[in-house]
Amino acid sequence: MTLQETYEKNGISPAVYRFGERVLAALRPRFDAVDEMAEQNQGKVILAMREARVDAACFAATTGYGYDDVGRERLEQVYAHVFGAEAALVRPQITCGTHALTVALSANLLPGDELLSPVGAPYDTLQEVIGIRPSPCSLAEYGVTYRQVELLPGGGFDYPAIRAAIGPKTKLITIQRSKGYATRPSFSVEQIGTLIAFCKGVKPDVLVMVDNCYGEFVEALEPTQVGADMAVGSLIKNPGGGLAPIGGYIVGKKACIERCAYRLSAPGLGQEVGANLGILPSFYQGFFLAPTVVAGALKGAIFAANCFERLGFRVIPDGTEARHDIIQAVELGSEAGMRAFCKGIQAAAPVDSYVEPIPWAMPGYDSEVIMAAGAFVQGSSIELSADGPIRAPFAVYFQGGLTWYHAKLGILRALQELVNAGLVPEEAL
């Protein structure tokens, strides 16, 4: 069986397959650069594991209080080393990225403090955490105020407005690295470092937290290596490598991480408790594999950008821009386009391929959301997935792929469904 015949058996027409191959032929230099970055980050992870003296004892299960859990302690050493941080909190008790961000914020903000976002509105689920949309137990309920500074029209930072917004009550500044459900650019680590330096120049004692979701291992440096006091993420995204079944991390300054540990468990207990319940092997191995898995996802994002841009769709980032996260936004212009795209991603999945995604009301969002996610771990967005809120400009956010080959198949199947629905004419291919 030829490669083209394999794709045909997976629902890809010869015309779509040949279109994909023409796009791919021009991307080899980009892919070589992605592989070089993965090799650099792989070496960084191996060095951290060697220096932490990871051994078989680290994989032993603990229960109950989890006292003296050497595997948990050394895993946190590995994360701190890789992120260039003083300390790390890496726990299965952190259920998702939103939970990790909530722990970091609530641990380091007190009543009367102010939280500032200099990059516009935060991701949808964080808006209820902050209290932008009212919710029980929000930061607003506990007397934390919030301000935000909008980005400039081109997506840059409005430095004069940021200077004016930083005041005596400003305790913590939150920077979202990835675009979330917006069509703004994602920020490079260098851009984040420049923004952090500016904010600390205005107020040296202000804390800066970076929502690092979807950005880990995309570049050679992480935000904690350019001045962030905390960087926060989810293990069912990049750093879990597709193996972690749950979990989140917070890395940064020791004083901040200690407070996060007290908030996660209880005052006086901190990092001393928290059983690993036997899932540490997946945490270690997932982190070990993460640079390679992220590289596959990046290749998929670059391929998707170039395919859909060539067909006239607006894509963010565009087909030639440098990548700072694994997310690729494609503006499809209609709910029908979003449905067709997500139908194709789901049909290419190894799990639940027979299911057709439909929009529905998801907790934490103010619009219906459509989500294609045939994943081995529920909600794992380092696995091939696509989702977006049903609202203008009807953008779908594509990310993940545990292998480049799966990402490629998913992208071509999404295009095929757009062709089948009459939303992309076959003669345009």
Domains of the chain: 3-41+288-428 (3.90.1150.60), 62-278 (3.40.640.10)
Instruction: For residue 233, give the 3-state DSSP assignment.
Output: strand
* DSSP classification of residue 120: B
What is the radius of gyration, based on Cα positions, of the chain?
Answer: 21
* DSSP classification of residue 64: T
Contact, 321 vs 245, CB < 8 A?
no
**Residue 29 burial by CB count (10 A; 0-12/13-18/19+): exposed, middle or buried?**
exposed
Distance CA 283, CA 108 (A): 26
Note the pLDDT tens digit of each residue in 333-372.
999 999 999 999 999 999 999 999 999 987 777 789 999 9
What is the CB-side half-sphere exposure of residue 43 using CA atoms within 13 A?
6
- CA 183 from centroid of its chain's CA atoms: 15
* DSSP classification of residue 249: E
Residue 332's pLDDT is: 96
Angle at 283 between CA 280 and CA 284, to 5 degrees: 90
Residue 258's pLDDT is: 98
Contact, 106 vs 98, CB < 8 A?
no
Instruction: For residue 389, give the 3-state DSSP assignment.
Output: strand
This prediction has a pTM of 0.95
Residue 362's pLDDT is: 78
Residue type at 171?
K
Contact, 115 vs 174, CB < 8 A?
yes
Q: Which H or E run contains 14? A: helix 14-25
Note the pLDDT tens digit of each residue in 227-269.
999 999 999 999 999 999 999 999 999 999 999 999 999 999 9
Note the pLDDT tens digit of each residue in 90-147.
999 999 999 999 999 999 999 999 999 999 999 888 999 999 999 999 999 999 999 9
- CB within 8 Å of 283: residues ≥ 6 apart: 75, 90, 92, 235, 240, 243, 244, 247, 276
Q: Which residue has the tokens 């198949």?
A: 409
Note the pLDDT tens digit of each residue in 261-298.
999 999 999 999 999 999 999 999 999 999 999 999 99
Angle at 93 between CA 87 and CA 99, to 5 degrees: 80
